[in-house]
Structure 1
Amino acid sequence: MGRIPCCEKDSVKKGQWTPEEDNRLSSYIAQHGTRNWRLIPKNAGLQRCGKSCRLRWTNYLRPDLKHGEFSELEEQTIVKLHSVVGNRQANLF
């Protein structure tokens, strides 16, 4: 017993994403939203797994995702929290 496989492993493309794939995923999500990640690759015309699409969107393509260096305020916040919490992981946010 277990989960149903998320995708056909034979027909799934692995490796780096192309700019065309990024554009397809971004435009599909802009039109339809992020309802069901298992259906998004098929409906967007991608040969990717739903998990791969979800991770690509979450970690690289979201419009509200900040890329680049930390601001001065962010850096001060990080240093302050590190002095209080240390290196351990905590669910503070």
Structure 2
Amino acid sequence: MGRSPCCDGINIGLKKGPWTPEEDKKLIDYIERNGHHGSWKSLPKLAGLIRCGKSCRLRWNNYLRPDIKRGKFSEDEERIIINLHSALGNK
């Protein structure tokens, strides 16, 4: 008896699986025009997407946000991570 998925049941017909470049563009364009400070639940319909709000939120936060740093850590970043891990452990 665990948590039920956010998109199952009520939202029959929602698209699942990999995002297309067109869907990414719709989400990016909508957020650039309107921001994302409102309800993620209502965003897909307003942006013209057939996805659930949670899927849009995760896509934006994990892949599309312009401030996401990609690539390797710098030496300074590695040193900070190692020092913090030594001080805090696996929390």
Q: TM-score, normalised by structure 1?
A: 0.83
- Tell me by how many angstroms 1:10 deviates: 1.0
> How many residues of Structure 1 are paired with residues of Structure 2 in the alignment?
84
Q: How does 1:64-75 map to 2 (within 5 A)?
A: 64-75=67-78
Q: Write out per-residue CA displacement over residues 1-25 of structure 1, whole angstroms, 9 at most, x where no aligned residue.
A: xxxx778421111111111111110
**Ranges in structure 2 where 5+ consecutive residues have no aligned partner:** 1-5
Q: Is the 8 A contact 2:15 2:50 kept in 1?
A: yes
Q: Is the 8 A contact 1:6 1:38 kept in 2?
A: no
**Ranges in structure 1 where 5+ consecutive residues have no aligned partner:** none
> 1:30 corresponds to which residue?
32
Q: How does 1:6-45 map to 2 (within 5 A)?
A: 8-34=10-36, 35-45=38-48
Aligned counterpart for 1:80 among listed residues 83, 86, 89 = 83
What RMSD over aligned residues (CA atoms) do the two structures have, in Å?
Answer: 1.6
Amino acid at match of 1:23: K
Amino acid at match of 2:84: L
- Paired residue secondary structure (1:64): coil
